[in-house]
Amino acid sequence: MTNQAPRGTTVVPLPDEIDFSNAARAYNRLYTALADGAEVVIADLSGTVFCDIWALRGLLMLHRQAAVETAQLRLAISAGGQVERVAELMGVDRELNVYASVSEAAAAA
């Protein structure tokens, strides 16, 4: 995990591809950041080129868990890629805080 954002914010870089085979490991890193008391966790998908539907559903569940713990999950998803397209089709962008970069996600109020 790297923390390149304001205090209380943890940035978690996610793999280039997220699917059934590695989603649990990726989400464990996000859950750990929440359990460690981060107020904002940024899931950095800016380098992710593939993320299947089940992996995005996992992010929705994590978002709900963060809300229970009075924390926020923000997603950094590069514009124009497959991940952004699938997120739009699933409506993830309507339920989660989605930004075009980690710096935008970190700067959001």
pLDDT digits (tens, 9 = 90+) for 53-92: 888 888 999 999 998 889 999 999 999 999 999 999 988 8
DSSP run (H or E) holding 73: strand 72-76
Cβ contacts of residue 17 below 8 Å, gap of 6+? Answer: 48, 49, 50, 51
Domain housing 59: 9-107
pLDDT band at 22 (very low <50, low <70, confident <90, very high): very high
- The answer to whether position 60 is within a domain reads yes
- The answer to whether position 3 is within a domain reads no
Alpha-helical regions (H) of the chain: 23-35, 53-68, 82-90, 92-95, 102-107
Q: pTM for this structure?
A: 0.89
The mean predicted confidence, pLDDT, of the chain is 89
pLDDT at 4 over 70: no
What's residue 1's pLDDT? 46
Cα–Cα distance, 99 to 106 (Å, whole number): 9
* CATH number for the domain harbouring residue 63: 3.30.750.24
Domain count, the chain: 1
What's residue 3's pLDDT? 40
